[in-house]
Amino acid sequence: MGVVASLEKEKPDTGISLLTSLVQSDMERVNRLILDMAAANAEMIPDVARHLIDSGGKRLRPMLTLASAAMFGYRGDGHVKLAASVEFMHTATLLHDDVVDESEMRRGKAAARMVWGNQASVLVGDYLLGQAFRKMVEVGSLEALAVLSNAASVIAEGEVMQLVAAKNLSTSEDEYIRVIEAKTAALFAAACEVGPIVAGADDKTRKAMADYGLYLGLAFQLVDDALDYGGSSASLGKRTGDDFREGKITLPVVIAHRGGDAQQRAFWARTIEQGTIVEGDLETATELMHRHGAIPATIERARHYGDKALMALEDMPHGDHRRSLLDVVEFCISRVH
């Protein structure tokens, strides 16, 4: 019954409805746990945390953890704790990201830092990360802890790499892929690897699921990059052009800059490197991207990684869970249409 209701409710998102229905009851436990974990002696903490938590993120990462454990027949509550920890790691990153990027919006509403300030965003992010570690320690799997603590380091390293590359137009496509592999794909990989770990799957299976998450994460981020220059604010949950205004190097910029003539490169230098942006620049940037096919090229690259994600699942146990994970790849890429 729950499944049918969920399928009906989720009709517009057919791509992900099998996943949401399969993990629905576990996700309810994750959501309750998330509220518990946001509790604290300082009232400001749950206020800030809920601002983000209630803002309708898809919670894709914790769903991946749940499905990745269930696919290997896991029974217990470890996957629920790990899923909540993964979501908290993600939320902590968002809080710090918005401070670093000076973002004004997140998921279609004011960024937490615009309401409570940068100071609160930094410290509440630290608290959520601490709570994530506490909860994953409770699960008692040193292997899962190794995967997730490694991801925490790699994500922060990727953020620093992005900060350093932020204004640097000589960033190559490969360098850019390394940045998003660290800052985005590493958590997707960890989210998918801890499932088979708690379920006691073998090393080859763990590796395949980590690969699936990694490639899915790369595809996801590249589609996000493309959407920033072509999507609508409603579907993206942030304003179109945020990356541009923040001087962020993304793959569309790398491609458009690489193909540009001297005048176009001067445009990118002024806007991205020097951060001098005037009325009409976003439209010019978007126009230049279309001229150089930067958006289709970015989506093609996303599809390439999406295909690798699908291939990683080839030897995984066939059935609903595997099918739901195949769907996620298509869902992520089709966001762009």
Which residues of this chain interact with a copy of itself, rule CB under 8 A?
A: 40-45, 96, 99-100, 118-120, 122-124, 126-127, 129-131, 133-134, 137-138, 140, 142, 145-146, 149-150, 152-157, 159-161, 163-164, 178, 182
Shortest gap between Cβ of 46 and a copy of itself (angstroms)?
Answer: 11
**What values do phi and psi take at 105, rounded to 5?**
-125, 155
Q: Which is nearer to a copy of itself, 40 or 169 (CB)?
A: 40
DSSP string, 95-120: HHHHHHHT-SEETTEE-HHHHHHHHH
* Collapsed DSSP state (helix, strand, coil) of residue 172: coil
Shortest gap between Cβ of 166 and a copy of itself (angstroms)?
Answer: 9
Q: Which is nearer to a copy of itself, 157 or 330 (CB)?
A: 157
Shortest gap between Cβ of 29 and a copy of itself (angstroms)?
Answer: 21
- Which positions ≥6 away from 153 have C-beta within 8 Å? none
Q: Which is nearer to a copy of itself, 39 or 266 (CB)?
A: 39
Shortest gap between Cβ of 294 and a copy of itself (angstroms)?
Answer: 26
Shortest gap between Cβ of 231 and a copy of itself (angstroms)?
Answer: 26
Shortest gap between Cβ of 97 and a copy of itself (angstroms)?
Answer: 9
Q: Which is nearer to a copy of itself, 105 or 156 (CB)?
A: 156
Q: Are 74 and 195 in contact (CB under 8 A)?
A: yes
Q: Which is nearer to a copy of itself, 19 or 129 (CB)?
A: 129
What is the torsional sign of CA 126, 129, 133, 135?
positive
Q: Which is nearer to a copy of itself, 121 or 240 (CB)?
A: 121
CA distance 334 to 235: 12
Q: Which is nearer to a copy of itself, 41 or 263 (CB)?
A: 41
**What values do phi and psi take at 109, rounded to 5?**
-135, 175
Shortest gap between Cβ of 324 and a copy of itself (angstroms)?
Answer: 30
CA distance 130 to 127: 5
Q: Which is nearer to a copy of itself, 140 or 319 (CB)?
A: 140
Report, in angstroms and rounded to the nearest whole number, the Rg of the chain calculated over CA atoms: 20
CA distance 289 to 260: 10
Shortest gap between Cβ of 165 and a copy of itself (angstroms)?
Answer: 9
Cα 155–159–164 angle (5° rounding)? 145
- Which positions ≥6 away from 59 have C-beta within 8 Å? 27, 30, 87
Q: Which is nearer to a copy of itself, 124 or 236 (CB)?
A: 124
Q: Do you know the residue count of the chain?
A: 337
Q: Kindly state the tokens that stand for 15.
A: 């791509």
**Closest alpha carbon to 151 in 209, 94, 190:** 190
Shortest gap between Cβ of 221 and a copy of itself (angstroms)?
Answer: 18
Q: Are 21 and 2 in contact (CB under 8 A)?
A: yes
Q: How many CB atoms lie within 10 A of CB 99?
A: 19
